Chains A and B, each alone.
Chain A
């Protein structure tokens, strides 16, 4: 009898950034984010399942399950695509350890929307968007019998994945000198918690042209401008909650930076770092011009190969320490969780992640109404915000686990003060 062939399923070590997420998760919190696309027509789940079956084979590091080794976690390609799930009343429901052990991403359909929720160890926002685009491309090709050109992130789904796509790009781009981790604490937002685990989603839709015109007026990019509006809103909220200026804390915004262009990488794993612009409100009130300038200079100084290499080196040095490598996984988990809880989320008020302008081939665009990018809330802080632009609209998704839309209200007040129009929608109509 011939020997049974070894499983052809691929497995990969977690990349440097992915290692913290399994350790940091809690009983009711895991680091999950969502990329979704809304079509003009309702989704046919049978065709989507067929498209998913093909797509998962093309992305072995994303269509994966999280497994435990003796010293580290690793990702193993899933044998088959997961079942398509129905939508709940809120996005990013808790992804349990059991779920990530079986499959660390979900595909959810609601009406004309296809959403994919990823455990952050699989990939970052950019990798996830490429996965979603390819899933949708495969779906549209099967449904409408069209041929979509291989451009704007659409890959040949019949070809095997290249090694470049599966590469952990952190170690090879680590610089010779490690950057210090010392940093100041940020203001910790708070509010009346939503006890039942419900996450409130508020989506702002802002016209791209108007937003860009205003950004240019402030000599900024869209990311810088929106970040400045967010920091202004955060400062106003802190003023409302804590009017005593001398007892106020710094307003800090964590802005993820896609490193693929900077380091010329094509990886589909996590490959992002961040910059954290900050302002000390005890020094006085900042105008929007000042905040824009502050963010712009911070980004200009830090989004460079040299600086990012040194930040990467800090994380990679810890990972490659031979003593730490030999520590068993449960102990590593305890240590990493303790570090994450004491440091991880204290250094910023919230994350504002901008995927940028989403481009798809023209033949595909006519079937697509919108894209959305939704971050999960932080473990200990109530808010997060994901944004992207598609067509002529910026979609900003605020998510929170508190009852009142305080930050959103201040954010809109700042926009309104600038004369920028915005439309909102939410997931809490019946509540």
Chain B
């Protein structure tokens, strides 16, 4: 087959002339199909695209920040509630956008970073509202949940097996943490122990126990998989 415009011979792989971009056509016969010289649509990941995307994310975070800044100034005449918005956006950025800057973000590092930023934000709210609940309630609760989550993430990241054991243990630990949360609420806000934490403890412990049972029993795991697959 030849290009009808420039006259160059065309391989069977060509749908357009590579020189003048003219569609390959002939009224009498079709261009036979052939294996292309290179696969189509398979492109390497672009580093500059990542930079542009991360830049766009920063702008997306800045737009509400600026709007709130000017709104707070114009409504209150001073910065009254802007700090809460800025803090919340900072926590969201550290948790969701910051890891995107790294090629292989390690969750073992970024999960504790997220909790640390959340703890700082809670401390700011505590100071801004002149509360006295940060040290006795918010900090220990954040620390305990951070510990459980970080442990789970670390184990899942570095161990290839035993995921059901890890998740089962995590649910049980979370249930136990509920007791601690109720205790700290009682201590900080002077509320007596009414025992609501027993309910999530029982549910989470049962669920954790179920996962460990499934981890121990391959037959039960297979039956459950057969029934619940989607």
Q: State whether A412 and B8 are in contact (beta carbons under 8 Å apart), knowing that A202-B19, A424-B18, A429-B13 are contacts in the complex.
A: yes
Say what secondary structure dominates the interface of chain B: loop
A-B pairs with beta carbons under 8 A, tally = 92
Q: Is the CB of B18 within 8 A of A408?
A: yes
The answer to the question of A83 belonging to the interface, with a C-beta cut-off of 8 Å to chain B, is: no
How distant is A256 from chain B, measured CB to nearest CB, in Å? 25
- Bound: A430/B40 CA distance, A: 6
The answer to the question of A198 belonging to the interface, with a C-beta cut-off of 8 Å to chain B, is: yes
Q: Is the CB of B9 within 8 A of A94?
A: no
Q: Is the CB of A426 within 8 A of B46?
A: no
Q: Given the complex, which residues of B lie within 8 Å of A422, measured CB to CB?
A: 8-9
A-B contact pairs, 7 of them (CB 8 A): A27-B48, A87-B39, A89-B41, A416-B8, A425-B11, A426-B18, A427-B36
Smallest CB gap from A203: residue in B: B37
Q: State whether A423 and B48 are in contact (beta carbons under 8 Å apart), knowing that A202-B18, A203-B37, A428-B18 are contacts in the complex.
A: no
Q: Given the complex, which residues of B lie within 8 Å of A428, measured CB to CB?
A: 18
- Bound: A412/B13 CA distance, A: 19
Q: Report A383-417 residues with CB < 8 Å from chain B CB.
A: 405, 408-409, 412-413, 416
Q: Is the CB of A91 within 8 A of B38?
A: yes
Q: Is the CB of B40 within 8 A of A88?
A: no
The answer to the question of A239 belonging to the interface, with a C-beta cut-off of 8 Å to chain B, is: no
Q: Is the CB of B11 within 8 A of A409?
A: no
Quick one: CB contact mask for A78-102 with B, threshold 8 Å, 1 for yes?
0000000011111101101000000
The answer to the question of B77 belonging to the interface, with a C-beta cut-off of 8 Å to chain A, is: no
- Which of A28, A93, A429 sits near B40, CB closer than 8 Å? A429
The answer to the question of A111 belonging to the interface, with a C-beta cut-off of 8 Å to chain B, is: yes
Smallest CB gap from B3: residue in A: A424
The answer to the question of B163 belonging to the interface, with a C-beta cut-off of 8 Å to chain A, is: no
- Bound: A243/B70 CA distance, A: 57
- Bound: A237/B154 CA distance, A: 61
Q: Is the CB of A429 within 8 A of B42?
A: no
The answer to the question of A197 belonging to the interface, with a C-beta cut-off of 8 Å to chain B, is: yes
Q: Is the CB of A425 within 8 A of B39?
A: no
- Bound: A201/B11 CA distance, A: 14
Quick one: CB contact mask for B86-126 with A, threshold 8 Å, 1 for yes?
00000000000000000000000000000000000000000
The answer to the question of B20 belonging to the interface, with a C-beta cut-off of 8 Å to chain A, is: yes
- Which of B36, B37, B44, B47 sits near A88, CB closer than 8 Å? B44
A-B pairs, top 6 by smallest CB distance, nearest first, are: A426-B18, A423-B9, A425-B11, A430-B40, A427-B38, A93-B44
- Bound: A318/B21 CA distance, A: 48
- Bound: A89/B35 CA distance, A: 13
The answer to the question of B64 belonging to the interface, with a C-beta cut-off of 8 Å to chain A, is: no
Contact surface of B with A, Cβ cutoff 8 Å: 6-11, 13-21, 35-44, 46-48
How distant is B86 from chain A, measured CB to nearest CB, in Å? 33
Q: Given the complex, which residues of A lie within 8 Å of B17, measured CB to CB?
A: 424
How distant is A337 from chain B, measured CB to nearest CB, in Å? 19
Q: State whether A424 and B14 are in contact (beta carbons under 8 Å apart), knowing that A412-B8, A430-B41 are contacts in the complex.
A: yes
Q: State whether A425 and B19 are in contact (beta carbons under 8 Å apart), knowing that A86-B42, A87-B39, A416-B7 are contacts in the complex.
A: no
Say what secondary structure dominates the interface of chain A: loop
Smallest CB gap from B15: residue in A: A429
Smallest CB gap from A372: residue in B: B37
Q: Report A118-176 residues with CB < 8 Å from chain B CB.
A: none
- Which of B13, B18, B38 sits near A90, CB closer than 8 Å? B38
- Bound: A408/B20 CA distance, A: 9
Contact surface of A with B, Cβ cutoff 8 Å: 27-28, 86-91, 93-94, 96, 110-111, 196-198, 201-203, 205, 405, 408-409, 412-413, 416, 421-430
- Bound: A27/B48 CA distance, A: 9
Q: Given the complex, which residues of B lie within 8 Å of A421, measured CB to CB?
A: 9
- Which of B7, B20, B42 sits near A87, CB closer than 8 Å? B42
Q: Is the CB of B19 within 8 A of A427?
A: no
- Bound: A399/B165 CA distance, A: 55
Q: Given the complex, which residues of A lie within 8 Å of B16, measured CB to CB?
A: 429
- Which of B35, B43, B44, B47 sits near A111, CB closer than 8 Å? B35
- Which of A89, A412, A416, A425 sits near B43, CB closer than 8 Å? A89
Q: Is the CB of B13 within 8 A of A110?
A: no
How distant is B40 from chain A, measured CB to nearest CB, in Å? 4
Q: Is the CB of B7 within 8 A of A201?
A: no
Q: Is the CB of B48 within 8 A of A87?
A: no
How distant is B30 from chain A, measured CB to nearest CB, in Å? 15
- Bound: A409/B21 CA distance, A: 10
Q: Which of A93, A416, A421, A423 has the most CB atoms of chain B within a 10 A radius of its CB? A: A423
Q: Is the CB of A89 within 8 A of B18?
A: no
